[in-house]
């Protein structure tokens, strides 16, 4: 079923062409892309600015490093994640929850030998998971102890929260819940559930799967509107701070919640998609216009976060006639 | 930012005005037809003489094509280099084009161009006279063989039947007399000369001609020999290789009897190559307009001024921007995703050669077999460059397999698989396989069918006679295409697919 462009315009929906020409092209200078496309550089950037992010434990830069891996990992004493710095689509991420004698234990309880972990790191370095097969590096970072507030809201894995930040102002947020249909992947057009999050409160809004509204998770049966993200103001502030460190005017910030340490920045995205509008049941245009009306540089990150929480509340949902 | 918008608008406006202005000027002032009134075939014919000049005076003489009952030759012109003087020595049959002058040592290229139109119904007068064949001096054994052959056809009634039988004898490998003569054909002035001499002896009035078959689009052609025989007071054109009567409508007569085709004094390694290009739609009117205004800068500095063989290339090149326009429209206005931006254009170019159904079938076979083979490579965890190289080898193997198998089964169409650009196909397979692993088979189907849809649409645009004629006659339209592309590039409205995608947002 098609709707008229006039109705979309009236509802303030941003389309792909508008995003590319009006949001990305003028606000995201090309030279800044490597900062966010290389997760290692992002990590350095984020931690140098003192923002919360899973701690970087080490980097495997060469096949030589792979041989030293056993000694290094044995001395860690914590859970860790090995992932490619230039990976795409969540490929090549290996999570190890802890050590049991000589072996590594995955969160599922599966055991891995050191050789298997080394092989994974070696494949990563040789570019198996990176875009275009370029030589990559493998990052080893602290495992996130996911908070259990998301339990039952996702079929597999733990969802992160995506915040769109426009010129430093968080304008919209959502979380993507994987389903059996999406094969455990958090990709909306493969059938993951998009769940809008109210910027003011962290409370879940209407959920959408395959373009249709739904109230319960299709696999776990949980009532989705029950989700309330705790420590929400910290999420908004973290997202807002990413503007200064990245310089990108149209930015997607992915944040996870650690049980002990609170919200942690996972990665940044210079080309965030528009599905967030569908998940929120709301267009972006009016919020972008409001931000455009602000004097640039007049507020710091905390100020912008406060502005966003005050002005971009979802509550009086106006459904267009 | 608004400064940029202004710039875009200015550029678009300028391109539109210049492009459309030039088109309108050509239509209204120079008299080019926008849409041809009648589908008349005009062949542009080009003879390309290349030779190595020895230095000093050079004289080149080329036999010129003659009018026939069906065809009329007009607008003969020459573009030669090195300042040679061009002249046509006389009118009527047997006329020759000559080039003379002093040249330095080195390669010389001379082009003789002309246009050939089909005569209106009823035809022209045709040629009245035929050149008499001089007697062929034969040795005793050869004479005996010729007489024997003449005797074998003597009992046939009529010249045509005699000729048919004679050609059968000469084309049969088991005819001792004919084979004896043919072995010495080189010394006796060639096979055609020999056949005509024996036919004369059998009492058939015969003449030899050489001609060029007018084809849609051909390069590097040579003249072909034909026989003319008189049968019941009419002259028939016979193809000695097939033994059949030639209708002659598409045969441009170039040389008769023993005239030489090309004579060169002061040069060596001379070669004559011929090219033809048919324009279905460009009626005589536009050809005449082009010729009449040949010195107008808009025409003189256009594709028309290029050698014919290169005009053929440009005819295709001019269509590629239209393919790009279709891709831009599909991606940015409709929102269809294709695998690889310009891959559909390349596939469409292949479709132009293979015809769409064959092309589509071959593409599907190659890509799906490639995907199956490539998915096996995934298990081996290879690095990118070796992996894509392996896919390339697979693709070549698939090409060979398809060609051989289809040839054995009797489908000649399978051989056309080689038109597909293998590097592009390899990348397509690689990309689709990665897509399959990362996003699932559904996305592969969406992108694959998107690409095929785009390729088919581009094919429809490119293969359309009106469209191709329009851009060929008015290459200025490319500026308009550019303007539209730039305009779409700054379009910020919704895509057609988004009217569906964002529909839940405005659902009451």
What order of strands is seen across the sheet that includes strand B234-239?
A: B244-245, B234-239, B224-231, B206-213, B251-256
**Residues of chain A contacting residue B335, judged by C-beta atoms under 8 Å apart:** 16
Place of tokens 């009006």: A22
CB contact under 8 Å between A127 and B383, yes or no, is: yes
pLDDT over 60 (residue A146)? yes
A181, closest residue in chain B (CA to CA) = B440
- Find, among A38, A23, A12, the residue nearest to A281 by Cα: A12
Which residue in the set A187, A282, A319 is minimally distant from B508, CB to CB? A319
**Residues of chain A contacting residue B439, judged by C-beta atoms under 8 Å apart:** 89, 187, 190
Q: What is the pLDDT of residue A317?
A: 46
Specify whether the backbone of B92 is left (phi greater than 0), alpha (psi in -120 to 50) or beta: left
**Any B CB within 8 A of A1 CB:** yes
pLDDT (mean) for A271-276: 90
pLDDT over 50 (residue B341)? yes
pLDDT (mean) for B29-55: 74
**Any B CB within 8 A of A196 CB:** no
Considering only residues B227 and A138, tell me which one the structure prediction assigns the higher pLDDT: A138
* Mean pLDDT, all residues of chain B: 81
CB contact under 8 Å between B498 and A15, yes or no, is: yes
Distances in whole angstroms, Cα of residue A94 to Cα of each of A70, B196, B447, B463:
15, 86, 30, 52
- Phi then psi for residue A300, to 5 deg, are -85, 180
Residues of B with CB under 8 A from a CB of A: 1, 332, 335, 381, 383-385, 387, 438-440, 442, 489-496, 498-506, 508
Q: Which residues, in sequence order, are CB contacts of B376 under 8 Å at separation 6+?
A: none
Which residue in the set B489, B505, B508 is minimally distant from A277, CB to CB? B505
CB contact under 8 Å between B494 and A17, yes or no, is: yes
Contact B51, B267 (CB under 8 A): yes
CB contact under 8 Å between A133 and B494, yes or no, is: no
Q: What is the pLDDT of residue B458?
A: 95
Which residue in the set A4, A127, A190 is minimally distant from B384, CB to CB? A127
Dihedral angle of Cα A97, A101, A103, A107, to the nearest 10 degrees = -20
pLDDT over 80 (residue A188)? no
pLDDT (mean) for A134-160: 86
Q: How far is B335 from chain A (nearest CA, A)?
A: 9
Looking at chain B, the whole-number percentage of residues with pLDDT higher than 70 is 85
**If residue B428 lies in a helix (H) or strand (E), which one and from where to where?**
helix B422-439
**Any B CB within 8 A of A212 CB:** yes
Burial of B170 (0-12, 13-18, 19+ CB in 10 A): buried
CB contact under 8 Å between A16 and B499, yes or no, is: no
**Any B CB within 8 A of A15 CB:** yes
**Residues of chain B contacting residue A17, judged by C-beta atoms under 8 Å apart:** 332, 491-495
Burial of B277 (0-12, 13-18, 19+ CB in 10 A): buried
Q: What is the pLDDT of residue B120?
A: 57
pLDDT confidence bin for B156, thresholds 50/70/90: confident
What order of strands is seen across the sheet that includes strand B106-118?
A: B71-80, B106-118, B42-53, B267-279, B217-221
pLDDT confidence bin for B282, thresholds 50/70/90: very low
CB contact under 8 Å between A8 and B506, yes or no, is: yes
Q: Which of B492, B497, B500 to mutate to test the interface with A (most CBs of A within 10 A)?
A: B492
CB contact under 8 Å between A21 and B490, yes or no, is: yes
**Any B CB within 8 A of A296 CB:** no
pLDDT (mean) for B136-142: 78
**Any B CB within 8 A of A183 CB:** yes
pLDDT (mean) for A231-250: 95
Q: What is the pLDDT of residue B369?
A: 92
Q: Which range among A53-57, B101-105, B399-403 shows the weakest confidence by mean pLDDT?
A: B101-105
* Mean pLDDT, all residues of chain A: 88
B331: tokens are: 């991606």
Which residue in the set B332, B383, B499 is minimally distant from A3, CB to CB? B499
Q: How far is B298 from chain A (nearest CA, A)?
A: 37
What order of strands is seen across the sheet that includes strand A111-112?
A: A98-100, A103-105, A111-112
Query: CB pairs below 8 Å between A and B: how many?
Result: 95
pLDDT over 50 (residue A308)? yes
CB contact under 8 Å between A17 and B502, yes or no, is: no
**Any B CB within 8 A of A4 CB:** yes
CB contact under 8 Å between A16 and B495, yes or no, is: yes
Q: How far is A285 from chain B (nearest CA, A)?
A: 12
pLDDT over 70 (residue B30)? yes
B4, closest residue in chain A (CA to CA) = A26
pLDDT confidence bin for B80, thresholds 50/70/90: low
pLDDT confidence bin for A321, thresholds 50/70/90: very low
**Residues of chain B contacting residue A16, judged by C-beta atoms under 8 Å apart:** 335, 495, 498
**Any B CB within 8 A of A187 CB:** yes
Contact B162, B153 (CB under 8 A): yes
CB contact under 8 Å between A7 and B506, yes or no, is: yes
Looking at chain A, the whole-number percentage of residues with pLDDT higher than 70 is 97
pLDDT digits (tens, 9 = 90+) for A97-118: 888 888 898 888 889 889 889 9
Interface of A with B in 214-273 (CB under 8 A): none
pLDDT over 70 (residue B467)? yes
* Other beta carbons within 10 Å of B256: 20
Considering only residues A205 and A130, tell me which one the structure prediction assigns the higher pLDDT: A205
Q: What is the pLDDT of residue B148?
A: 82
Whether this prediction's pTM lies above 0.90 is answered by no
CB contact under 8 Å between B438 and A7, yes or no, is: no
Q: Which of B498, B500, B508 to mutate to test the interface with A (most CBs of A within 10 A)?
A: B498
pLDDT digits (tens, 9 = 90+) for B416-427: 888 888 888 888
**Residues of chain B contacting residue A130, judged by C-beta atoms under 8 Å apart:** none
**Residues of chain B contacting residue A9, judged by C-beta atoms under 8 Å apart:** 494
Q: What is the pLDDT of residue A318?
A: 41
Long-range contacts of A191-194 (CB under 8 A, 24+ apart): A193/A217, A193/A218, A193/A224, A194/A275, A194/A276, A194/A278, A194/A279
CB contact under 8 Å between B493 and A187, yes or no, is: no
Considering only residues B458 and B384, tell me which one the structure prediction assigns the higher pLDDT: B458
CB contact under 8 Å between A320 and B490, yes or no, is: no
- Phi then psi for residue B377, to 5 deg, are -60, -30
pLDDT over 90 (residue B280)? no
Which residue in the set B385, B490, B500 is minimally distant from A1, CB to CB? B500
Highest-confidence segment of A297-311, B157-171, B292-306, B462-476? A297-311
Q: Which range among A247-256, B129-138, B171-180 shows the weakest confidence by mean pLDDT?
A: B129-138
Contact A317, A282 (CB under 8 A): yes
- Phi then psi for residue B44, to 5 deg, are -90, 130
Q: How far is A176 from chain B (nearest CA, A)?
A: 16
Q: Which range among A114-128, A136-150, B279-293 shows the weakest confidence by mean pLDDT?
A: B279-293
Which residue in the set B442, B492, B496 is minimally distant from A22, CB to CB? B492
Q: Which range among A223-237, A300-314, B62-76, B471-485 shows the weakest confidence by mean pLDDT?
A: B62-76
- Find, among B58, B91, B34, B29, the residue nearest to B471 by Cα: B34
pLDDT over 70 (residue B287)? no
Q: How far is A226 from chain B (nearest CA, A)?
A: 22
Q: What is the pLDDT of residue B67?
A: 74
Q: How far is A79 from chain B (nearest CA, A)?
A: 27
CA–CA separation, A46 and A44 (whole Å):
6
The beta strand positions in chain A, using DSSP E, are 56-60, 80-84, 94-96, 98-100, 103-105, 111-112, 138-142, 161-166, 169-177, 193-197, 204-209, 212-214, 250-258, 262-269
B385, closest residue in chain A (CA to CA) = A133
pLDDT (mean) for A142-165: 87
**Residues of chain A contacting residue B440, judged by C-beta atoms under 8 Å apart:** 183, 190
Q: Which range among B134-138, B147-151, B386-390 shows the weakest confidence by mean pLDDT?
A: B134-138
pLDDT over 80 (residue A61)? yes
């Amino acid at each position: 079923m098609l709707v008229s462009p006039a109705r979309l315009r009236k509802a303030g929906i941003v389309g792909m062409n508008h995003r590319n020409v009006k949001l990305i092209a003028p606000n995201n200078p090309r030279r800044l892309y490597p900062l966010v496309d290389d997760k290692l550089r992002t990590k350095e950037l984020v931690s140098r600015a003192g923002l919360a992010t899973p701690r970087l434990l080490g980097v495997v830069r060469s096949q030589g490093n792979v041989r030293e891996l056993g000694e290094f990992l044995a001395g860690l004493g914590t859970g860790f994640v090995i992932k490619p710095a230039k990976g795409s689509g969540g490929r090549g991420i290996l999570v190890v929850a802890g050590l049991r004698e000589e072996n590594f234990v995955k969160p599922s309880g599966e055991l891995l030998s050191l050789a298997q972990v080394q092989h994974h790191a070696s494949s990563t370095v040789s570019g198996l998971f990176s875009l275009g097969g370029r030589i990559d590096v493998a990052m080893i970072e602290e495992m996130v102890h996911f908070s259990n507030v998301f339990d039952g809201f996702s079929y597999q894995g733990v969802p992160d929260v995506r915040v769109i930040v426009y010129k430093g102002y968080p304008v919209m947020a959502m979380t993507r819940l994987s389903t059996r249909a999406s094969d455990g992947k958090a990709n909306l057009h493969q059938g993951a559930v998009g769940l809008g999050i109210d910027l003011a409160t962290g409370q879940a809004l209407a959920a959408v799967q395959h373009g249709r509204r739904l109230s319960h998770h299709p696999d776990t049966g949980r009532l989705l509107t029950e989700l309330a993200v705790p420590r929400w103001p910290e999420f908004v502030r973290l997202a807002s701070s990413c503007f200064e460190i990245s310089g990108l005017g149209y930015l997607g910030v992915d944040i996870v919640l650690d049980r002990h340490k609170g919200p942690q920045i996972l990665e940044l995205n210079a080309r965030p998609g528009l599905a967030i509008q569908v998940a929120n049941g709301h267009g972006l245009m009016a919020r972008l216009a409001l931000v455009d009306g602000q004097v640039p540089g007049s507020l710091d990150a905390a100020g912008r976060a406060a502005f966003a929480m005050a002005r971009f509340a979802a509550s009086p949902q106006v459904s267009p006639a | 930012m608004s400064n940029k918008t202004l710039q875009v608008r200015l550029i678009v406006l300028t391109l539109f005005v210049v492009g459309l202005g030039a088109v309108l000027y050509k239509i209204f002032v120079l008299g080019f037809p926008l849409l041809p009134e009648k589908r008349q075939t005009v062949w542009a014919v080009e003879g390309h003489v290349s030779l190595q000049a020895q230095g000093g005076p050079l004289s080149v003489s080329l036999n010129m094509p003659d009018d026939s009952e069906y065809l009329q030759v007009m607008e003969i012109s020459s573009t030669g280099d090195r300042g040679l003087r061009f002249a046509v020595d006389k009118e009527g049959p047997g006329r020759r084009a000559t080039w003379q002058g002093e040249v330095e040592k080195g390669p010389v290229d001379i082009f003789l161009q002309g246009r050939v139109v089909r005569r209106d119904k009823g035809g022209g007068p045709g040629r009245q006279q035929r050149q008499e064949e001089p007697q062929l001096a034969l040795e005793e054994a050869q004479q005996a063989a010729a007489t024997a052959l003449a005797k074998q056809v003597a009992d046939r009634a009529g010249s045509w039947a005699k000729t048919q039988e004679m050609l059968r004898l000469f084309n049969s490998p088991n005819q001792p007399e004919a084979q004896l003569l043919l072995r010495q054909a080189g010394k006796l002035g060639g096979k055609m000369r020999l056949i005509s001499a024996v036919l004369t002896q059998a009492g058939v009035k015969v003449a030899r001609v050489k001609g060029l078959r007018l084809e849609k689009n051909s390069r590097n052609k040579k003249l072909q020999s034909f026989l003319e025989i008189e049968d019941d007071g009419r002259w028939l054109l016979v193809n000695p290789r097939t033994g059949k009567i030639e209708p002659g409508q598409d045969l441009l007569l170039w040389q008769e009897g023993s005239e030489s085709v090309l004579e060169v004094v002061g040069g060596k390694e001379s070669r004559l190559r011929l090219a033809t290009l048919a324009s279905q739609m460009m009626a005589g009117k536009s050809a005449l307009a082009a010729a009449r205004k040949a010195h107008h800068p808009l025409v003189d500095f256009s594709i028309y001024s290029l050698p014919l063989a290169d005009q053929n290339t440009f005819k295709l090149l001019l269509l590629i921007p239209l393919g790009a326009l279709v891709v831009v429209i599909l991606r940015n206005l409709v929102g269809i995703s294709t695998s690889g931006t310009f891959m559909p254009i390349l596939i469409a170019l292949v479709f132009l050669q293979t015809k769409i159904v064959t092309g589509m079938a071959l593409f599907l076979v190659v890509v799906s077999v490639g995907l199956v083979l490539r998915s096996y490579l995934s298990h081996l965890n290879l690095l990118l460059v070796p992996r894509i190289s392996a896919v390339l080898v697979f693709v070549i193997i698939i090409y060979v397999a398809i060609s051989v198998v289809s040839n054995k089964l009797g489908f000649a169409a399978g051989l056309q698989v080689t038109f597909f650009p293998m590097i592009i196909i390899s990348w397509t397979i690689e990309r689709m396989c990665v897509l399959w692993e990362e996003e699932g088979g559904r996305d592969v189907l969406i992108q694959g069918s998107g690409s095929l849809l785009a390729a088919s649409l581009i094919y429809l645009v490119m293969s359309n006679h009106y469209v191709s004629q329009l851009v060929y006659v008015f290459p200025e339209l490319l500026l308009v295409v550019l303007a539209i592309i730039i305009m779409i590039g700054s379009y910020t409205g919704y895509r057609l697919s988004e009217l569906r995608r964002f529909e839940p947002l405005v659902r009451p």
